Amino acid sequence: MNSSLKLRITLLFSVVFLAFESHAQTNKLVVNTESGNVQINKHIYGHFAEHLGRNIYGGIWVGPDSDVPNEDGYRKDVMQALIDLEIPNLRWPGGCFADEYHWTDGIGDPNDRPKMVNTNWGGVTEDNSFGTHEFLNFTKKINTVPYITGNVGSGSVEEMSKWIEYINFDGESPMADLRRKNGQEDPWDIEYWGVGNESWGCGGHMTPEYYANEYRRYATYARDYGGNKLYKIAGGANNWDLNWTEVLMKNIPLQMMDGLSLHYYTVTGTWEEKGAATKFTKEEYLETLNKAAVMDDLIAKHSQIMDKYDPEKKVGLIIDEWGTWFKVEEGTNPGFLYQQNTMRDAHVAAITLNIFNKHAERVHMANLAQTVNVLQAIILTNENDMILTPTYHVFDLYKPHKDAILLDHFLSSEKVAFGKQSAEALHVSTSKSEDGTVNISIANIHPDKKVSLDIDLLGKEFKTVSGEIVTASSVDTYNTFEKKDAVKKASFSDFKLNKNILKVDAPANSVLMIRVK
Ligand code: AHR
């Protein structure tokens, strides 16, 4: 009997054993450490910076004349935090803003750039001082990959086509010459290109049939230049709109589309009466996490439709907007979507990233909404001060999963319940890095109970183990400008390894990354 078959049989026994044991509320994880062939695309760990509130202006860009320490107009502290996090990509300029953005307003001498009204976000005046050059040079400075969303809602095919020529064409042409005149000799050779955003809503209120036709037209003139191949992303569905996915998959030839997007926000309460970011009951806490966990089923349902038209899974599902959406903080502009970020957000991030890993075969990219000062931000700023949120620390903790091979596992977890809400206490993801290290991320969402987890590592014998943790005294703990490190990443060692058996004591309200070698 070959070793892989042996492992599969052992796993099967383990499943039966777990099914039996789950009645006894034993917490057990079985990991097949030699199972995987799907790579977790690092782009799943991507981010999103829209011209919204204090995300770009004040968050990333302060301009070269600002008193806030900056390098060529970019905040130094934010830049460093993003470099440290090794963010794989950054989506820009929106969001809803993208379908009202005319790129030619954001090039050339900043003093000559026309202003516009940001009608989607607070009705403030946008001075276009942060445009194509400022964005693409920023992505270079922070070593990340740009993902630009073009304007389908209020722009033209010609406008989008010329933007791509401006950015990517190496030879002599009106657009490439204009780029050179504006100070950029070489093309940026960008790959990721979104054809509109939320075309069912703020991007033009289109029907899926109408958008599918529009996509075909816009995508035709979104040209490849030189050796650079664009990865074209069609504007996808709003959470459960399965019909949108069906119509697009049916009507857009597969060779015209590399990715199809999906947006899902975790809202506590209702859209009209959203819950607060920092004040919540334990029942509301579980409601939030259960709503985040819906992502699993959501991806499965959209994938099922995609599988019908694309069984080889060539088209990536791109979840380019996800995260928590709470009531704005008191006293802030409601159009700026500024919210605090607690350990509850850390658990939402952990649960969601575990789910994305699980669906790595279909999910090729994802973008948390958003980067600085907006929605589930990883960074908050105040004049020239900055804090990292619990969500930032979870992305930091999860670094080993990027580009690792997804491993099969089976989990049996005890439950946690408050009021009408109940959920499994443990949420995990397992992967293997290139050097053979097995990565196990574990969220213990129980607010007040340590959970002991027995882990069977099927496969070779393991010798060393290390751990890191993000935790705090309560699920509503958050970092403030006065207390910046109430939640931070720390090392963790409450585990015992004996060959293939690992015991981990996951503290209440914690997210862990355990690495065995
Ligand atoms: O992320 C905030 C907004 O949410 C985006 O602009 C839009 O695409 C979505 O509705």
In short, whether 197's Cβ falls inside 6 Å of ligand 1 is: yes
In short, whether 93's Cβ falls inside 6 Å of ligand 1 is: no
Phi, psi of 360 (to 5 degrees): -60, -25
Mean pLDDT calculated for residue range 76-81: 98
- C-alpha 150/C-alpha 398 separation (Å) is 30
Instruction: With a cut of 50, say whether residue 85 has pLDDT above it.
Output: yes
- C-alpha 453/C-alpha 432 separation (Å) is 20
Instruction: With a cut of 80, say whether residue 21 has pLDDT above it.
Output: no
CB burial of residue 361 (10 Å; 0-12, 13-18, 19+): middle
Contact predicate 40/431, CB 8 Å: yes
Instruction: With a cut of 60, say whether residue 23 has pLDDT above it.
Output: no
Q: What is the pTM of this model?
A: 0.95
Instruction: Pick from 47, 48, 50, 378 the residue to mutate for probing ligand 1's pocket: most ligand atoms within 8 Å of its CB.
Output: 50
Mean pLDDT calculated for residue range 462-473: 97
Mean pLDDT calculated for residue range 227-253: 97
From 501, 496, 499, 479, select the one nearest 488 (Cα to Cα).
479
Instruction: Give the fold, CATH level 3, of 39-405.
Output: TIM Barrel (3.20.20)
In short, whether 94's Cβ falls inside 6 Å of ligand 1 is: yes
- C-alpha 439/C-alpha 211 separation (Å) is 41
Which CATH number applies to 3-37+408-516? 2.60.40.1180
| pLDDT for the residue numbered 256 | 98
Nearest CA to ligand 1 atom 5: 95
Identity of the amino acid at 365: M
Task: For the chain, give every domain's residue range.
Answer: 3-37+408-516, 39-405
% of the chain beyond a pLDDT of 90: 94
Q: Which residues of 402-414 are buried (b: 16+ CB within 10 A; e: fewer)?
A: bbbbbbbbbbbbb
**Both structure tokens of 242:** 């399965």
| pLDDT for the residue numbered 10 | 53
Q: Which atom of ligand 1 is nearest to the CA of 370?
A: 1
- C-alpha 266/C-alpha 168 separation (Å) is 36
Instruction: With a cut of 50, say whether residue 22 has pLDDT above it.
Output: no
Residue listed under structure tokens 């065995």: 516
Mean pLDDT calculated for residue range 322-333: 97
Q: Name the residues annotated as catalytic.
A: 198, 321
Q: Which atom of ligand 1 is nearest to the CA of 94?
A: 6
Nearest CA to ligand 1 atom 9: 95
**Both structure tokens of 13:** 């026994």
Instruction: With a cut of 60, say whether residue 124 has pLDDT above it.
Output: yes
| pLDDT for the residue numbered 239 | 96
Distance of CA 48 to the CA centre of its chain: 8
Instruction: Pick from 147, 202, 336, 374 the residue to mutate for probing ligand 1's pocket: most ligand atoms within 8 Å of its CB.
Output: 202
Radius of gyration of the chain from Cα atoms? 23
Mean pLDDT calculated for residue range 17-22: 49
In short, whether 191's Cβ falls inside 6 Å of ligand 1 is: no
pLDDT band at 25 (very low <50, low <70, confident <90, very high): low
In short, whether 198's Cβ falls inside 6 Å of ligand 1 is: yes
Q: What is the 500 CA–ligand 1 centroid distance (Å)?
A: 46
| pLDDT for the residue numbered 2 | 47
| pLDDT for the residue numbered 14 | 54
CA quadruple 213, 223, 165, 101: dihedral positive or negative?
A: positive
From 347, 395, 348, select the one nearest 371 (Cα to Cα).
395
Domains 3-37+408-516 and 39-405 share a fold: no
| pLDDT for the residue numbered 26 | 84
| pLDDT for the residue numbered 499 | 86
In short, whether 476's Cβ falls inside 6 Å of ligand 1 is: no
